[in-house]
Amino acid sequence: MPVRVAASPASPGSQSPADVGRPSRRDAHTAARPQIDLLVPAVRSRLAGADQHHLAKGERTDWGDRDCLHLLRSGWLAQFRTLTDGRRHVLRFLMPGDLVGVTSQFSGVAPAPAVALTDARVATVPVAELIDPASAAALRQFCIVLAMENVQAHETLLSLGCLDAEERLAALLLGLFERACARDLVSDRGLRLPLTQQDIADALGISPVHTNRMVMKLQRAGLIRLKAEWLQILDGPGLEAVAQWSRPMAWTRNSDHTSEHPADGARRPTTSKPPSRLARTVRRILVVEDDQLLALQMQAILRSLGFEVLGPAGSLESGMRLAEAGDVDAAVLDVRLDQGQRVFPVAQTLQRRSIPFSFMTGYADPELDRFHAPVLRKPVESGSVAAVIEQLIH
Q: What integer pLDDT is reported at residue 177 of this predicted model? A: 92
**DSSP secondary structure letter of residue 213:** H
Q: What is the mean pLDDT of residues 48-72?
A: 88
Given the DSSP bridges, would you call strands 284-288 and 330-334 parallel, antiparallel or unpaired? parallel
Q: How confident is the model at residue 19 (pLDDT cuts 50, 70, 90)?
A: very low
pLDDT of res. 252: 52
Could you report the per-residue pLDDT of 174-218, keeping only the tens digit for each?
999 999 888 888 877 788 999 999 999 999 999 999 999 999 999
Element (H, E) at 201: helix 197-204
- What is the DSSP code string of 142-165? HHHHHHHHHHHHHHHHHHHHH--H
Q: Which of 46-55, 119-128, 143-152 has the highest mean pLDDT?
A: 119-128
Strand order in the sheet with 330-334: 308-313, 284-288, 330-334, 357-361, 375-377
Dihedral of CA atoms 350, 353, 358, 363 in degrees, nearest 10, equals 30
What pLDDT sits at residue 271?
Answer: 40
Average pLDDT (75-93) is: 95
What is the structure's pLDDT at 47? Answer: 82
pLDDT at 23: 43
Q: How sure is the predictor about 281, in pLDDT bands with cuts at 50, 70 and 90?
A: low
* CB-based contacts of 2, cutoff 8 Å, min separation 6: none
| Residue closest to 255 by CA, chosen among 176, 348, 341, 187 | 187
Amino acid letter, 168: R
Using one digit for the tens of pLDDT, what is the confidence trace for 220-249? 999 999 998 999 999 999 999 999 988 878
Give the pLDDT of residue 294: 84
Strands 284-288 and 308-313: parallel
The sheet carrying 99-100 orders its strands as: 52-55, 120-126, 68-74, 99-100
| ∠ CA 231-236-242, rounded to 5° | 95
pLDDT at 36 over 50: yes
Contacts made by residues 104-109, CB under 8 angstroms, sequence distance 24+: 104/66, 104/67, 105/67, 105/69, 105/142, 106/146, 108/66, 109/66
- Separation of alpha carbons 33 and 12, rounded Å: 14
What percentage of the chain reaches a pLDDT higher than 90? 34
- Provide the pLDDT for residue 364: 79
Q: In the prediction, which pLDDT does 176 show?
A: 93
Total number of residues shown for the chain: 394
E-only strand ranges, the chain: 52-55, 60-61, 68-74, 77-82, 88-94, 99-100, 114-116, 120-126, 190-192, 224-227, 230-233, 284-288, 308-313, 330-334, 357-361, 375-377
User: How far is it, in rounded angstroms, from Cα 303 to Cα 262?
Assistant: 16
Strands (E), 171-236: 190-192, 224-227, 230-233
Q: What's the confidence (pLDDT) of residue 235?
A: 92
Most confident of 33-37, 160-164, 358-362: 160-164
Separation CA 32–CA 157 (nearest Å):
17
Q: At what angle do helices 165-181 and 236-243 cross, to 10 degrees?
A: 130
Q: What is the mean pLDDT of residues 128-140?
A: 79
Q: Please say whether the beta carbons of 60 and 126 come within 8 A.
A: no
- Spell out the residues 6+ positions from residue 163 whose beta carbon is closer than 8 angstroms to its own: 171, 243, 244
Which pLDDT score is estimated for 205? 94
Q: If we measure between CA atoms, which residue out of 154, 196, 148, 114 comes closest to residue 29?
A: 148
Given a cut of 70, is residue 306 above it in pLDDT?
A: yes
Residues sharing a CB contact under 8 Å with residue 245, sequence separation 6 or more, in sequence order? 170, 171, 174, 239
Measured at the CA of 264, the angle between CA 259 and CA 265, to 5 degrees, comes to: 50
Q: What percent of the chain has pLDDT over 70?
A: 85
- What phi and psi, each to the nearest 5 degrees, are found at residue 347? -60, -40
Evaluate if residue 251 carries a pLDDT over 80. Answer: no
Q: What are phi and psi of 210, to 5 degrees?
A: -65, -35
What's residue 29's pLDDT? Answer: 64
Query: Do 202 and 192 touch, CB atoms closer than 8 A?
Result: no
| pTM score | 0.71
Which of 192-206, 280-294, 350-364 has the largest mean confidence?
Answer: 192-206
Query: Over the chain, what is the mean pLDDT?
Result: 81
**pLDDT at position 35:** 86
CA–CA separation, 259 and 187 (whole Å): 6
pLDDT band at 340 (very low <50, low <70, confident <90, very high): confident
Q: Per residue in 271-295, is it b (16+ CB within 10 Å) or e — as a string? A: eeebeeeeeeeebbbbbbbbbbbbb
Q: What is the mean pLDDT of residues 104-128?
A: 90
Asked which of 137-146, 273-282, 294-303, 352-361 is least confident by mean pLDDT, the reply is 273-282
The predicted pLDDT at position 268 comes to 43
Of 152 and 9, the one with more pLDDT: 152
Q: State whether residue 223 is helix, strand or coil.
A: coil
